[in-house]
Structure 1
Amino acid sequence: MSLQTVPDQAVARHGWVHALVTVLAGLIAMIVVAALGLWAAGAADLPDGAFPRVVAATVVVAVGGSIELTGDAGAIAETKAGMSVTPLSVALTGVLVVAAGFLRPLRHRAVAGAPELAGWAARIAVLWLLALTGLALSARQTFAISLGEGTLSDIGDIFGASSPRVGFKADVPVTLAFGLLWLAGVLVIALLVSPRAPLPPRLLRFQESVRPAAYAMVVLLLAFVALGAVIALVVAVTRGRAPETLAVILLGLPNLVWLAFTIGLGASWEGRVEGPFGLPMPQVLDSVLRTPDISTLNLRTLSEQDGRVWWLVVVDAVLLLAVAFLMAKRSPARTRAWQHAVHMAVALALTVLTVCLVGRIDAHYGLSLLGIGDVGGGLSGELFLRPQLWGAIGLALLWGLVTGFVGALLASRVRHHGEVENPKA
């Protein structure tokens, strides 16, 4: 064994230990947030000790995994169910913890080779897949649903549908595939956003145009989350309902505030709420969507319920100008105002596209007997919320061009990132 291989093996062992700590820290943080949120929502009272499995399913969905809903109501009865929603509070927690762990050993360096970065990422990916496999295998449970008493129960007894059951289980292959894509996205975004993260030499020429814009978008999204958390806590203190508010904060706060962000830009969403499903907060969303037909969710329809919705435009304008100024300040002084506008427009369009893709909601459940739907008179329901994608992206481009140009003008007289003052001056 040569003397040169000893340090290499020590670095490799240290790399595996650090990767293990990163993976465990990310998963533990997500599990804690999901458990607290579900506990506040009342899920701790689920029968058959299902709470840990529901927590596991929540984390699986948060990292892009798939949960299949299953049902069994007897020979001539049928259950249909499906759910597609991402608990973004849990996902955001994992993103921040995993990204911080990935970047920690790379700090204080200007350049790193592609093989080295790939090695760090591969260690994390291998351990991530192993941990995610165990989590997905534990995310399964079945519940019995009572049909109540009376005629419905008697019919169910006759036809063998008296004890319908509904459950869930994780699709392990799909969960591993999308969980790996989720991890890759987190690591790439971490390298793009962090000003201290090293890049391969071939990519250094892109950091002046990409990193300030990516950093600004992350600050924008986190600012909306922080503002939403403050508003939610104020509402909880002044109006009560603290457990429900805590559940929203810990499970779906980004779902709500990033939806409000896109609506403030002028974007429209379409959706419907029917049956026992509902949106936890604010009530104005549920009021607009709970109609017989598909409803449109935008500034106009929301303002008919509450005129204060127009303040979303003001909040969007202020925060976009602030992050545009920040982006211009962190960019080289030689960058022109129109270039800042283009960078801001592209970054904001990609951000809105991401919000629209991860913010979609689709949930439905139905029980039918002899072909007759909704025999439970309340056991069936539907909730979906989808963006009008191209309109939202177009508005994001327009907002980005305007705020990027104005932000560059505001930052033109401020010393930029990396700029050195003239000693003679």
Structure 2
Amino acid sequence: MQQPTTRAAGPPGAVRGWLDALAVVLAGLVAMAAVAALGLWLAGADSLPDGGFPAVLAATLALAVGGSVQLDGGAGGFAALDAGISAMPLSVSVAGAVAMAEVFLRQLRFRAVAGGGELLGRIARTAVVWLLALVLLAVVARHTFVVRLGGDLVQSLGGALGLTPEVGFHAEVPTTVGIGFAWLLLVLAAAFAVSRRAPLPSALVRYQLAVRPAAFALWMVLLGYLLIGAVAGVVTAIAHGNARQTMAVVLLALPNLVWLAFGVGLGAEWHGRLVGGLGLPVPKPLAEALRAPQGQQATIDLGTLAEHDARSWWLLPLAAVLLLAAAFLAARRSPRSVRLWQHAVRFALATAVTVLLVGLWTRVDADYGLSVLGVGLGQGGLGDLIGAVLGSSNPLASLGSGSLTLHPSLWTAVPLAAGWGLLTGVLGALLATRVQHRGEVTEEDPQGR
């Protein structure tokens, strides 16, 4: 008698696929929310009026995936607000990206090759769930509250005259959803480019040795800068006694600062300016360099930073050493059959792409201006909001007007990075000729470890 076939316990294949996609998205959102919430709390955002903390948290997550936040409000013809924020809190972004990539790749473990249709299906389902999450995030990321005009007397007079400005903020849905979708695709592409655990379709397997060693090595460079920056942050917190402020910077904007330092160390330039009392948590040399006379455009490079702190020159040898170490690592992880020029070109391309992404990620545009009949308003409210969303532990002292812009000069940064990658790629490959490459079989190590 034929025995009945027993089915494995668990949800059907289609349901399992959607549950896997949901797990990836939830992992990213939970990681980002945890890092952002702690950072915003340290930055003082919990003191925002009218229970605005959840909305600010949602706005921070929207910014972390490339969205933008618009601030608006006023009081008829008496008060007007013109403000907007476009800046990625990269500590939050990195936390979400790593969590999502880890969960996505873990679902594909124990495989060397994956079908193209299966991968596209997983990516499509994850994208659908992610888009729904982005829409929900943009809906939650809005809040309105009343801005105090000053003391009790001024507040009473303002109320009698109808001058009670309502100030609000909201995440722009098209930007948040559109760029957030591109952010997800970039995260998944980077995961497959960096991780040796990521199974590829059979047609793409032959390309992995041309991409993964260099991609992994440059990822290690970025992580190295994060580690150095975190150590420096802890030392600063202990030595200067401003632990809350410093840890808020670490949890919200550490990559923004240290990856900019990486680009500057390679000779790249950023252009921008800081006008008004926008209390962003940036190092003193950077803040001083951005405050050009009469609000003019400032150039941020090794020379201008060194004018305010001579220790900035150490960014050059630091970048050179870490990049050379990465080139050596990439060469060691590549087969010995890869020619020197091939390794140099691959590493140059990887370095150029890395600096391009760093430049795009570290762009900042933040402008605000709130006035009543041309007179700036008092403390609180909007100042706390902008300071919290941008990761500042020093909210604005006044709401008159101010701006911060910081844009990379990519047309010089990318070629410079390619040149550095070419040079260090050659040197790293030469150094790696004397060591065993991954996968090689020797008499002493017959298993090729």
Alignment of 1:143-154 (within 5 A): 143-148=145-150
Instruction: Give the drift of 1:273.
Output: 0.9
Q: For structure 1, which segment, 20-29 or 125-134, has the greater mean C-alpha deviation from structure 2 after superposition?
A: 125-134
Using a 3 Å threshold, how does the CA distance of structure 1 residues 4 and 338 change in structure 2: closer, same or farther? farther
Query: Is the CA contact (8 Å cut-off) linking 2:195 and 2:212 kept in structure 1?
Result: yes
Query: Is the CA contact (8 Å cut-off) linking 1:84 and 1:362 kept in structure 2?
Result: yes
Q: For structure 1, which segment, 85-94 or 412-421, has the greater mean C-alpha deviation from structure 2 after superposition?
A: 412-421
Instruction: Give the drift of 1:7.
Output: 9.2
Could you tell me how far apart the structure 2 residues matched to 1:373 and 1:317 are? 50
- Correspondence for 1:78: 80
Q: Determine which of 88, 113, 116 is the counterpart of 2:115.
A: 113
Using a 3 Å threshold, how does the CA distance of structure 1 residues 4 and 188 change in structure 2: closer, same or farther? farther
Q: Does 1:388 align with 2:390?
A: no
Instruction: Give the drift of 1:289.
Output: 1.1
Q: Determine which of 416, 420, 425 is the counterpart of 2:441.
A: 420
Structure 1 segments (4+ residues) deviating >4 Å: 2-9, 149-160, 372-378, 422-425
Determine helix, strand or coil for the equivalent of 1:202. Answer: coil
Q: Does 1:218 align with 2:219?
A: yes
Identity %, equivalent residues:
53
Determine helix, strand or coil for the equivalent of 1:167. Answer: strand
Instruction: Give the drift of 1:251.
Output: 0.3
Instruction: Give the drift of 1:3.
Output: 7.5
Q: Determine which of 334, 341, 345 is the counterpart of 2:344.
A: 341
Q: Does 1:24 align with 2:45?
A: no
Q: Deviations over 1:330-360 (max 9, x none)?
A: 1111111121111111111111110111101
Query: Is the CA contact (8 Å cut-off) linking 2:68 and 2:85 kept in structure 1?
Result: no
Alignment of 1:48-67 (within 5 A): 48-67=50-69
Could you tell me how far apart the structure 2 residues matched to 1:24 and 1:220 are? 28
Q: Deviations over 1:291-310 (max 9, x none)?
A: 32221111111111111101
Instruction: Give the drift of 1:378.
Output: 4.7
- Correspondence for 1:37: 39
Q: For structure 1, which segment, 193-202 or 138-147, has the greater mean C-alpha deviation from structure 2 after superposition?
A: 138-147
Instruction: Give the drift of 1:267.
Output: 1.1
- Correspondence for 1:359: 362
- Correspondence for 1:124: 126
Instruction: Extract unaligned runs of 5+ from structure 1.
Output: none
Instruction: Give the drift of 1:65.
Output: 2.5
- Correspondence for 2:391: none
- Correspondence for 1:350: 353
| Length, aligned pairs only | 422
Using a 3 Å threshold, how does the CA distance of structure 1 residues 399 and 155 change in structure 2: closer, same or farther? farther
Q: Deviations over 1:381-413 (max 9, x none)?
A: 111111111111121011111111100001011
Could you tell me how far apart the structure 2 residues matched to 1:158 and 1:238 are? 50
Determine helix, strand or coil for the equivalent of 2:119. Answer: helix
- Correspondence for 1:99: 101
TM-score (norm 2): 0.88
Could you tell me how far apart the structure 1 residues matched to 2:6 and 2:185 are? 32
- Correspondence for 2:428: 407
Using a 3 Å threshold, how does the CA distance of structure 1 residues 7 and 181 change in structure 2: closer, same or farther? farther
Instruction: Give the drift of 1:281.
Output: 3.2
Instruction: Give the drift of 1:179.
Output: 1.8
Q: Deviations over 1:59-80 (max 9, x none)?
A: 1111122322212232243221
Q: Does 1:332 align with 2:353?
A: no
Determine helix, strand or coil for the equivalent of 2:12. Answer: helix
Q: Does 1:275 align with 2:276?
A: yes
Could you tell me how far apart the structure 2 residues matched to 1:108 and 1:421 are? 27
Alignment of 1:148-187 (within 5 A): 148=150, 160=162, 162-187=163-188
- Correspondence for 1:306: 309
Query: Is the CA contact (8 Å cut-off) linking 1:274 and 1:290 kept in structure 2?
Result: yes
Query: Is the CA contact (8 Å cut-off) linking 1:275 and 1:378 kept in structure 2?
Result: no
Q: Deviations over 1:179-214 (max 9, x none)?
A: 222111111111111112111111112111111111
Could you tell me how far apart the structure 1 residues matched to 2:10 and 2:194 are? 29
Query: Is the CA contact (8 Å cut-off) linking 1:366 and 1:381 kept in structure 2?
Result: yes
Query: Is the CA contact (8 Å cut-off) linking 2:370 and 2:399 kept in structure 1?
Result: no
Query: Is the CA contact (8 Å cut-off) linking 2:375 and 2:400 kept in structure 1?
Result: no
Q: Deviations over 1:255-286 (max 9, x none)?
A: 00001111111111111111121331311111
Q: For structure 1, which segment, 306-315 or 149-158, has the greater mean C-alpha deviation from structure 2 after superposition?
A: 149-158
Could you tell me how far apart the structure 1 residues matched to 2:7 and 2:342 are? 48
- Correspondence for 2:299: 296
Specify the code of the residue in structure 2 equivalent to 1:80. D
Q: For structure 1, which segment, 218-227 or 143-152, has the greater mean C-alpha deviation from structure 2 after superposition?
A: 143-152
Specify the code of the residue in structure 2 equivalent to 1:255. N
Using a 3 Å threshold, how does the CA distance of structure 1 residues 421 and 236 change in structure 2: closer, same or farther? same
Query: Is the CA contact (8 Å cut-off) linking 2:345 and 2:425 kept in structure 1?
Result: yes
- Correspondence for 1:12: 14
Query: Is the CA contact (8 Å cut-off) linking 1:192 and 1:211 kept in structure 2?
Result: yes
Query: Is the CA contact (8 Å cut-off) linking 1:71 and 1:81 kept in structure 2?
Result: no
Query: Is the CA contact (8 Å cut-off) linking 1:73 and 1:79 kept in structure 2?
Result: no
Could you tell me how far apart the structure 2 residues matched to 1:27 and 1:344 are? 33
- Correspondence for 1:249: 250
Q: For structure 1, which segment, 116-125 or 206-215, has the greater mean C-alpha deviation from structure 2 after superposition?
A: 116-125
- Correspondence for 2:266: 265
Root-mean-square deviation (CA), in Å? 2.6
- Correspondence for 2:400: 379
Q: Deviations over 1:76-104 (max 9, x none)?
A: 43221111100000000000000000000
- Correspondence for 2:395: none
Could you tell me how far apart the structure 2 residues matched to 1:423 and 1:258 are? 41
Could you tell me how far apart the structure 2 residues matched to 1:181 and 1:90 are? 17
- Correspondence for 1:322: 325
Determine helix, strand or coil for the equivalent of 1:415. Answer: coil
Using a 3 Å threshold, how does the CA distance of structure 1 residues 233 and 375 change in structure 2: closer, same or farther? closer
Q: For structure 1, which segment, 249-258 or 20-29, has the greater mean C-alpha deviation from structure 2 after superposition?
A: 20-29
Instruction: Extract unaligned runs of 5+ from structure 2.
Output: 379-397
Using a 3 Å threshold, how does the CA distance of structure 1 residues 423 and 234 change in structure 2: closer, same or farther? closer
Using a 3 Å threshold, how does the CA distance of structure 1 residues 150 and 294 change in structure 2: closer, same or farther? farther
Instruction: Give the drift of 1:157.
Output: 6.8
